Each structure stands twice: as C-alpha cells, then as structure tokens.
Structure 1
Amino acid sequence: MWGIIATWRMAFDGVTVASQLLKEGIAVGDAIELAIRLIEDNPLYKSVGYGGLPNIQGTVQLDAAYMDGDTYQIGSVAGISDVKNPISVAKQLSKERFNSFLVGEGARDYAVLHGFDIQNMLTDRAKSEWEKRLKEVQKNKLNPYDGHDTVGMVGLDVSGSMATGTSSSGLFMKQAGRIGDSPLSGSGFYVDSDIGGATATGLGEDLMKGCLSYEIVRLMKDGYSPQAACNQAVYDFADRLTKRNETAGAFSLIAMNRHGEWGVATNVEFAFVVATEKQKPTVYVATPTKDKQTTIEKVTEEWLEQQRKHATID
C-alpha cells in the first residue's frame, strides 16, 4: 500500500513523479522531497520557490519543513533567501539532533556550508508583479497582502513509513522576516507513521492559532477517518475563530492515514492532488458545505483549461 496527497493543482507533476517512485518502492521521504523540488524549480508557481512572490522589500524569503513519521525528526527553515531548494535543506536539517530549525542568514549559511545550490530566486516576472503591487498600494492605499498557497504533501510508502513536507514563499508583500505556519510543526504539518499525517495551506496567521495539522492527526488516532478528522478540526476551528474575531482567513487541510485513506476540508474552494495504489494522480476540487461537510469532485477539462490560461497554475 502506498499513497500521496498534496495541496493545489501545481502539485500534479510532482505527485505524478512521486507516485511512480512510491510504486517502485522508493522511500516516502525521498519521493516527497523530489516532488516538492519540482514545484520549487518551476517559475510559473508564484507562491513557492523560484519565481515566488517577494516581501515588501522585494526579497524572496522562503519557508520549508520536513517531518519523518517514523522518528518524529523535523527539519525547518524560515526566511531563507537565495537557496534553490529549501525543502532539501529542511530534510537535511531533520537529521540534526540540535539546531534543526534555522532562520534567515543562519539557514542560508547552513545551506552554503552543506553544498546546497545557491541562486537568486527573484524572477523578472515576480519582480514586475511586486513593482506593480507596490505602486497600487501607494496610490490607492490598498491592503498589500495577497497569495499564500503553500505546497504541502503527505505520503505513505510500501514499507508503511510516512512523511510530510511543505514549501512556500509565504504571503505576498509580507513584512521582512514574517513567518507563516508552513515551517511550524503542528500548524503547517504533522505526521506519525502509526497514525497518519496532515498539512495545511492558507493564511498562516490564522492557521497558527489552531494547530490544525496536529489536531487532525490526534483525531485520526482516536478513530476518526481522515475525512471526518479534517471536517471536525477545520470547521469547528473556523467557527470558533469567526466567533471570536468576526473573521477567519482562508485555510485548507489535507490528510492521509497509514492505510492510504485520505481526507480534505476547507473554508474556500480548494484544489488538491491525490495518487494511491488504487488510483492514478487525480486533481480534485473541494468546497465547504453549510452543514460543515466537504464536497469533493474531480476537476473537469474545462476547469483545467481555465487554469492553463492563467500565468500561474494553482
């Protein structure tokens, strides 16, 4: 039994490659790392890696994390700049007994010391979008923030091991040094090979208030299916957050248990990708219902064509 689930349409190619590796018996951590690297390397995706949208100062600062479900080992980087593949740095850090979560210059120095590829991650396209947004904000006094589509994956391999990984350029036009939920254990991700794993995408400032990835794994431990766990955690917290603050940002969570069963819940329309031993890589769209359930449908060709027409593919 093997399986992998990932956030957003942009994960399709990575999941396709990872699914073939998992089918061949490759370790889940290696499959997830490769899948996320493919997304980080694609400049079309404006919320991850090369081509990711910059902060308010025009600098691309990236966050990433990796967790091994067998050992609970976690590696994270936050606010890292000029490093080609933050997910690989995070995975390497998960092997460290100490200093496994590094930020800013410390994270970059670690990457340089260990031979990771260094490059300018700001593309001309991303710079142009930043300049345009900066002018709009200054002229019209607009809210500058937009875009927070983290790629997150949870996977299971044929040996029964599980892992999860995340990577994001974070909130477009964020303050320098701002960190979201993506590199934070329990908020952006969590996995236990004896139970299952979950990962999140959305507004980090709200996701961090609920530790929803851990909560979904805890519910699965208590016997909930992945879908029931996602529904319970996401919609209960969205209600509580709205009640206390009169609003809740967009957030979506995906999960998979140790049997390869999966679930999704969201408070917005949300696309994700799944591949298992029983199904080829498939893109779905999830939407919330009024009765705190989740409607999940395979995307149509029309939907895919509409996505292809956009410069970025989510």
Structure 2
Amino acid sequence: MEVGAVAGMRYVKNGIKAARLVMLYTQHTMLVGDQASAFAISMGLPGPSNLSSTESMEKWIKWKENQCQPNFRKNVVPENSCGPYYRKKDVNVGEKTCLVEDVAEHIRMKSSYVDFHNHDTISMAIFDKSGHIAVGTSTNGASFKIPGRVGDGPIAGSSAYGDDEVGACGATGDGDIMMRFLPCYQVVESMRLGMEPRVAAKDAISRIAKKYPNFVGAIFAVDKNGTHAGACYGWTFQYSVRSPSMDDVEVITVYP
C-alpha cells in the first residue's frame, strides 16, 4: 500500500523515477505539474530539460496545419479549428440542462487515437525473492491531448495495482475510459476472491466494454504464484514475461 505518482510533469525525462521519489521521500501519493518537476529535480533527477524531439515537433506542426484535428474537444465551437473554443449553446429540457452529443460516436472517434502506432504505455509488475510485489506505469499520455489532461497512468488501481497477498495487474489503452473503472484494482480483488488471472482479466475488460463498446484497452493479470494471463478489447495485445528459470523473455499474444 505504498504509492507514489506524478502527473502533468514536464522538463524531467524519467517520470517513473520521479514517482518512486514521491513514494520514498514524501507522505503524499501524487504530485502534479511544474511543482512535481521541481520536486524531482530537487531530489536529484536531471533537469530542467527540453524533452521535445524532431519527430514530436514535426508531428505537432502537421497537427496544427490540419486545424488541430483530431483532438479531444467535445460540445465546443468551432469544431474544426485550433480555437479559441467556446461552449456550444446549452439545450434546456424542462428544468434540466444538457448538451446534445452523440456519445457513441465520440467514444469511437476518441478510441481511434489509441493503436499500436501511437501508444507508448509501459506497465510492469515485479516479484522479488521474498514475494513482495511492485508495480509501475509510465506514459507520455494520449497524442494531441488537451493541456492539463491526466490519464490513468498515475491513478493507483487503474493502470496498475499490486498486493503481496494476491498478485498484480497492469493496464493500457483508452485511459480516460479505463480510469473510470479502476480495472487493475478490480482484477486484484477478483483474484482475492478466487478468480483465476485469466478470468479476472476478462471480467474487468468486459465490465468496461459493456458500458463503452467502442473503447480500446488491455490488461495483464498475474497471481502471487506467477500464473499470468491477459485480456484485451479492440486490438491485439502483447505482454512479456521473464522469470529466473527462463533463458529469455517470452512474449504472449492476446487476441480480442
């Protein structure tokens, strides 16, 4: 139950090390934004650094030339430009106020940003010789996200969760959707109740897909004995495994 996280952090390259520093040297769970960067640098990590690359700048320039499309805005005008953005006119229904939106289409479009070519989440679970479990997740976040956006990467129980008594879980995919379900917490608790990793992972993914049938995501689950499995929805997912008895890493392919 020791947790450290950072979010919205710039100017420091190694986010997972910064998160570990929060866990080891503060009584907090999460630090965010430039203050998280300042903390990480004060604790010895290199920075401030310019983390932009030639590739990322070219990608951003092309996106701007394409009127900042696609993006994660909804219920705003203008729809096809770089802003500034304004709220669409509210629609009054009786005493309630709502916004007209095709929810299914919105989720379909947003999830289409997540695929093998634009996703960089790394989620890991480590078991030491004493049976203690550590988990961690690191990501750049969604491409073309709105500044200030925080996905499921630093959210304990969403992108990763572990319990020495049970096992561990890691997740990747459409974090804005997945974090609403804390799928890795769900997986670990399901295994605590006796579910096999394969069943627990499939159950957690199914819970999300039932509410959001167009989302994209994947989970790996491993119990305290080392039995592991994965489940995915909307893409073909791969995870890797290595134990002291293995000569090399084994890559497992999981199909939707």
Q: Any conservation in 1 of the 2:63–2:69 contact (CA below 8 Å)?
A: no
Residue 111 of structure 1 deviates from its aligned partner by: 1.0
RMSD: 2.0
Corresponding residue number in structure 2 for 1:281: 249
Corresponding residue number in structure 1 for 2:236: 269
Q: Matched residues in 2 for 1:277 and 1:219: separation? A: 27
After superposition, the C-alpha distances for 1:264-296 in whole angstroms (9 at most, x for unaligned) are 1100211221112343302222112xxxxxxxx
Residue 138 of structure 1 deviates from its aligned partner by: 4.6
Considering Cα pairs closer than 8 Å and 6+ residues apart, tell me whether 1 or 2 has the greater RCO: 1
Pairing 1:104–2:33 present:
yes
The AA in structure 2 aligned to 1:134 is K
The AA in structure 2 aligned to 1:93 is V
Pairing 1:131–2:61 present:
yes
Residue 150 of structure 1 deviates from its aligned partner by: 1.1
Q: Matched residues in 2 for 1:105 and 1:114: separation? A: 14
Query: CA, structure 1 residues 184+139, in 2 after alignment: closer, same or farther (shift >3 Å)?
Result: closer
| SS of 1:224 mapped into structure 2 | coil
The AA in structure 1 aligned to 2:142 is L
Q: Matched residues in 1 for 2:245 and 2:177: separation? A: 35
| SS of 1:220 mapped into structure 2 | helix
Which is higher, the Rg of structure 1 or of structure 2? 2
Query: CA, structure 1 residues 84+97, in 2 after alignment: closer, same or farther (shift >3 Å)?
Result: closer
Query: CA, structure 1 residues 269+83, in 2 after alignment: closer, same or farther (shift >3 Å)?
Result: same
Corresponding residue number in structure 1 for 2:13: 84
After superposition, the C-alpha distances for 1:117-149 in whole angstroms (9 at most, x for unaligned) are 112111111111121122224589497955343
Corresponding residue number in structure 2 for 1:165: 136
Match of 2:217 among 240, 246, 251: 251
Unaligned runs of 5+ in 1: 1-71, 289-314
Match of 1:174 among 133, 138, 145: 145
Q: Matched residues in 2 for 1:253 and 1:218: separation? A: 14
Alignment TM-score, normalising by the size of structure 2:
0.77
Residue 98 of structure 1 deviates from its aligned partner by: 2.1
| SS of 2:36 mapped into structure 1 | helix
Query: CA, structure 1 residues 139+101, in 2 after alignment: closer, same or farther (shift >3 Å)?
Result: closer
Q: Which runs of structure 1 show a deviation greater than 6 angstroms over 4 or more consecutive aligned residues?
A: none
Determine what percentage of the aligned residue pairs are the same residue: 29
Higher helix share: 1
| SS of 2:145 mapped into structure 1 | coil
Q: Any conservation in 2 of the 1:155–1:256 contact (CA below 8 Å)?
A: no
Pairing 1:183–2:154 present:
yes
Q: Matched residues in 2 for 1:219 and 1:139: separation? A: 40
Residue 179 of structure 1 deviates from its aligned partner by: 0.3
Q: Matched residues in 1 for 2:217 and 2:190: separation? A: 18
Pairing 1:219–2:190 present:
yes
Aligned length: 212
The AA in structure 2 aligned to 1:209 is R
Q: Matched residues in 1 for 2:244 and 2:41: separation? A: 38
Pairing 1:260–2:189 present:
no
